[in-house]
Amino acid sequence: MKNALPDQRREHGWSQQRLADELGVSRQTIISIERGRFDPSLPLAFKLARVFDCTIEDLFDPED
């Protein structure tokens, strides 16, 4: 699944570790999501969208 997580994170000036800390997950989880190796659970996807003040659809494209 294609995602805009790295772009959103960089736009906010956040490191992977800061985002991980904000969400209560490991940095490895963020790396895996950004690289497309791991699709986040629905609750985690909602948290990501809330953190970046956008919709889940803005972050993730399941069609790709």
Backbone φ/ψ region at 13: left (φ over 0), alpha (ψ -120 to 50), beta: left
Band the pLDDT of 48: cuts 50, 70, 90. Answer: very high
Kindly tell me if the per-residue pLDDT of 44 is higher than 70.
yes
Class of domain 2-54: mainly alpha
Cβ contacts of 6 within 8 Å, gap of 6 or more:
34
**Domains of the chain: which residue ranges?**
2-54
Band the pLDDT of 64: cuts 50, 70, 90. Answer: low
**Helix/strand/coil percent split, the chain, to 5:** 60, 5, 35
- What backbone torsions phi and psi does residue 3 show, to the nearest 5 degrees? -140, 155
Give the predicted TM-score (pTM) of the model: 0.88
- Angle subtended by helix axes 16-23 and 27-34, to nearest 10: 110
pLDDT for 61: 86
| Token output for 2 | 């294609």
